[in-house]
Each structure stands twice: as structure tokens, then as C-alpha cells.
Chain A
């Protein structure tokens, strides 16, 4: 069976699995931080409540361990499949590959950690879990770029270990802070919880930044590589999202100093939810970067600032007329004319999508200002979803010669199909919320979640083109769209879940971010 799987789809799943692995790893490290850095040292002050907190914390950590063991197992399977199907290596021989071996170690340690977390409490339990979490972290570092470096490998391994440890402890620690807050009622205790985690997270962020600086020094090294390569701009996207996280963390720090600044730590909890969401997005970008060569190694095909500015500048009106499908390079040998038609086709799709997205952003603003009929704006998602399914892959069903399932193995087609189909429930849910058909908060949260997920997809989405620089220039335009989309999603989340000034500001800002995605799409270009 392994040999029948197409290599591209296996490589595609390998990236997804890496993102899930980093997320599960964060839960584990966050759980260990919770036990070692919070419940154990503060047990005398928190009294009997610690037992209930630890019980839930151990359950979450055990689930994280099980999830990681499963993901590492699937990673081994995907990697073996790739070696067997793509490189025609015997399965037994493929088992000896370094990546497979490190993932076996990771899966074993994660499973052992899950079992340890579920055991009866004993003195060795928490130290054993910490040791196993360190093994998981080590195995993760040893299956990253750092382990594959030719020169100064020890430096990169140390940098990556610091970076991954900091990110995992911080992002993975936040759910456990929220867990602790749900177990305390008094103001003094809430401040104690907030203050303690604030100190722990400051240390984690320190590790993260130190590791990031060391990695950037080696992997990116020049300003040109930061701006002109896919690895570089993804690093830029991570830096921007990290800045947002640090801003939220700074505001949370105030909440931990005085009850008057944030009554009941309500704002802190809402910001923490947003931090988890943005944090996971950053982990996914990191997973995508792991499949790309470091910027410093890509000395050829780097785009210059002038080439980027030239591509991004809105020098002409949106393309509102599509080239005929007969002119595209479908089933014929590519010519300059057919490739130009392909790009015009893509520009038409993006530009029209932009018009609809902008219309939705403006509709959301108008609805907020009291224009009643504007509440139907989410129905425009159905138009975009239909257009994506029909037009995004002209070689496939319904307008191309290939069947629906035939082309699903192509990662790009797969992504388009998933996104196109998702837009239907997405639009209908939000429409039902806006028109009062659905009243629960949970239903209202569907829109911000899928908005953030879709935008996160843009941040890790790759176009499969042979021309490296051209592919980069297309991806460059996706980064600001993705960032605006992620922010629109999480600001809307805050508008629904928050209160006071945070709610008002978020309510004003998210339609602006959403509209900006539309504006960027309207002027998206693939042709010089």
C-alpha cells in the first residue's frame, strides 16, 4: 500500500504532522511547567485546591502525550511511505533513517509521559515527566534543520533547543494558567496565579527570543535574505505575530499587578485565549518553515526589494474580465501565451474575491453602524466558495477534463477544495448569527475561528511553481493578507468574548483588518 501513495501528498502530510507535533509538544511542556513551576512551589499558599488543579493538569498533559505519540507514529508512517514510494527504499532499510529513529524516541517518550501522568501520585512522578518532556524536546530538535547543518551543528542545536523550549513552555503554558484561574475564586489568589505565570512566561519568552536571535543570525544572516526569500518572510510574519503576542502579554502583566486594573482577571483570560490561537498559528508557520531551506542557503533566486515593491504596487485596476478557458495550458504543452493566460486567470480569481471580501468588510462596518440590511453580508461567502470550487483549478472538475478525486492528490488543489467547501458552512453560520437565527456564543465563535484558520492557511500556503523567484513573489503578497486575516479573526473573537474598552476597540478594528484583506486581493498580481 505504501508504494501506491503519491510522494507529494505524503510530503504535504509530513508538514501538517510537524505542526501538530509542535502543538502537542507545547501542551506537554506547558503541563510540566504547570506542575514544576506552579502547583508544587505554590502548594503551601493554595492549599487543598492544588489537588484538583493537578488532577486536571495531569489529565491534559497525559492527553498531550497520547496525541504526540500518535502524531509521531503518523510522522514515521508518512516518512517511511515517502522513502518507500518516492525513493524505492526497502521498508526495513528506511526504518534506519535518522528522522525515523528520532521520531520513534519521541513517540516512546511521549507515551511513557502519558502513562506516568496517569499513575498514582508518587515522588518520582513529576521529575520523571520533566525528564521525558526533555527527551521529547531533544528528539524534536534532532529532527529539525539544526541536526542537518554541516557546520557549527552544536550551535544550531543549542539555539533550536532554546527556541523550541521557550515557545512550547509559553504557548503550552497559557491553557494551564487559565486552568489555574478557574480553580481560584478570591482576588488575592487570582493575582497570585497571574503573577506567578507572568514570571514563568517572562523566562520562557527570554529563551524563545535568545534562541530566535541565534537562529536568525545563522539561518538568515543578511537583510536581503530576510526580505527576499520565503524562509525570510515567514520569519517576518512570525516576528509580527510575536509582537502582537508580546503586546497582549504586556497588558496581561498589568492585570496581574492589581485587581482594579482588570476585575476578576476577565480581560487577562480573554487575551490568553487569543494568545493561544495566535501562538498555534506561529507554530504552524514554524512547521512550514521546517520544509524550506534556510534563507542563508538560498543565495540564488533571492528577490530584491525593488522587485517586491514593483509586484506589490497597485499600478493597474483589478482584472475583471477572465481569459477564455481554451487559452489556458490544460492538456497542451505550455507556451508563453498559455502561461500568461494562466496567470490572468488566477489574477481574475483573486481580484474578484477581493471585491467580495471588501464588500463583506464594509457590510460588517455598516451593520455595526446600524444599517439593517447589511446584516446579510456573510452570504457573500457562498459566492466566493462557489467561485473557488469552479475556477481555482481549471484543469479539474467541473470545468476541466480531470475528475474531482483525480486531482485531489495535488496539495494545492486539495487546499482549494477544502477552503471552497468550508466557506459554505462558514458563511451560513455567520449569517444565521447576524440575523438572530443562532443565538449561542459558541455559534458566533465559528466565524472568528475559521477566519483565523483560513488566514493561517494563507501564511503557510505554498504555490507549486517551478520558478522559485516567481513563487516567492506570489507568496509575498499572501503574507500581509494572512496577517490581516489572523488579526481580523482574533479581534472578532475579542469583540464576542471580551468586555469594556477591549471589546469596543476590537469591534472597530476587525472589519478594517478584514477589508484590508479584500483590498490586497483586489490588487493581487502575478503578471509583472
Chain B
């Protein structure tokens, strides 16, 4: 009985245990913060998460009026921090998209919109 009924049950529960992986790594703090105004054409990004991030296997991309560009993130002061920089941005609205891999294997996504203004 156990083998014929309960084992298929275990498998069935597993197959139905459907849950989309959601934002696992939470962005705790960002610089610039969301919706901030940044003066000048150079922006230094600093993103701090609630868990350790695999910087080498995480991606940042910036989209704005001038198109999209991929940024290479580096590990910041701690393993939970990513840093990156970009130069030559014209004034306007931009969005930094982050796709990060936490070290327990979950991919999380999010974005930080901001505005650059001329000095």
C-alpha cells in the first residue's frame, strides 16, 4: 500500500507544488535611490541586498533615451553589495535593471529608475 499509493502521492504533490520563484534577493538600499535626481553625466551605482550575491554571475543594464547598455557589476564592500559606474549620460530619465544571482541559486530581478540633470 505504501509503495503503490503514497510514493505516487509524493511525486504528485511535487509536480503540483507549483510556485513561481519570486524576488528572493531583496534590494535593501540603492545609490542612487529610486526616483532620485542625479546631477551630472557620471553615475556610480551601489546596490545592497539582503543576501550574498554572486557578482560575477549577475547583470546590470541601463536603459534610457540614448538606448540600452550593459554594465559589468563588481562586488562592493560586502558580498551583499554590487557596484558599477557609467559615464557620458545625457540629461533625462533612465532605469537601471538588475538581474542578480544569490549564492543559494535564486535569480531575482528589479529596477531603479532615476533622472539625470545638468549641473
Contacts and interface: CB of A to CB of B under 8 A. Distances in A.
B78 to A, nearest CB: 6
A19 B17 contact: yes
A314 to B, nearest CB: 27
Given A150-B50, A287-B17, A449-B5, A89 B26 contact: no
Interface string A126-145: 00000000000000000111
Interface stretch (A290-298, A352-360, A500-508, A518-526): A290-298
Interface stretch (B38-46, B52-60, B86-94): B52-60
Given A297-B26, A449-B5, A148 B13 contact: no
B23 interface: yes
A378 interface: no
Nearest to A86: B107
A457 interface: yes
Contacts of A449: 5, 9, 12
Interface residues of A, number: 69
A99 B14 contact: no
A460 B50 contact: no
A94 B57 CA distance: 7
B18 A291 contact: no
B15 A16 contact: yes
Contact of A276 (B6, B11, B28): B6
Interface stretch (A5-13, A186-194, A238-246, A365-373): A5-13
A255 interface: no
Closest 10 CB pairs of A and B: A99-B105, A11-B21, A297-B50, A148-B51, A284-B17, A20-B14, A148-B104, A291-B21, A288-B19, A411-B20
A439 interface: no
A149 B17 contact: no
Given A16-B15, A94-B57, A277-B9, A149 B52 contact: yes
A36 interface: no
B82 interface: no
Interface in B93-119: 99, 101-107
A99 B57 CA distance: 12
A281 B16 CA distance: 11
A273 interface: yes
Nearest to A422: B16
A418 B1 CA distance: 26
A175 B22 contact: no
A445 B13 contact: no
B107 A454 contact: no
A11 B52 CA distance: 19
A430 to B, nearest CB: 16
Interface in A88-120: 88-89, 93-94, 96-100, 103
Contacts of B21: 11-12, 14-15, 291
B4 to A, nearest CB: 7
A442 interface: yes
Contacts of A412: 20
Q: Contact residue range for chain B?
A: 35 or more
Contacts of B20: 8, 11-12, 15, 291, 411-412, 462, 464
B83 interface: no
Nearest to B8: A449
Interface of B: 1-2, 4-6, 9-26, 28, 50-52, 54, 56-59, 78-80, 99, 101-107
Interface of A: 7-8, 11-12, 14-16, 19-20, 23, 79, 82-83, 86-89, 93-94, 96-100, 103, 143-145, 147-150, 175, 178-179, 273, 276-277, 280-281, 284, 287-288, 290-294, 297-298, 411-412, 414-415, 418-419, 442, 445, 449-450, 452-454, 456-457, 460-462, 464
Find the residue from B6, B18, B103 having the highest chain A CB count within 10 A.
B18
A442 B23 contact: no
A284 B18 contact: no
A321 B109 CA distance: 38
26 contacts: A12-B18, A12-B19, A15-B17, A15-B19, A16-B17, A23-B10, A23-B14, A83-B101, A87-B99, A100-B105, A143-B104, A145-B104, A148-B51, A149-B51, A150-B78, A290-B104, A291-B19, A291-B22, A297-B28, A419-B16, A442-B4, A449-B12, A456-B13, A457-B17, A460-B19, A462-B22
Contacts of B79: 150
A456 B16 contact: yes
Nearest to A234: B19
Nearest to A27: B10
A292 B24 contact: yes
B2 to A, nearest CB: 6
A281 B104 CA distance: 22
A105 B55 CA distance: 22
A495 to B, nearest CB: 15
A117 B91 CA distance: 67
B18 A460 contact: yes
Contact of A148 (B4, B78, B102): B102
Contact of A457 (B10, B16, B52, B107): B16
B24 A291 contact: yes
Contacts of B18: 12, 15-16, 411, 414-415, 418, 457, 460-461
Given A11-B20, A87-B99, A293-B26, A93 B57 contact: yes
Nearest to A82: B107
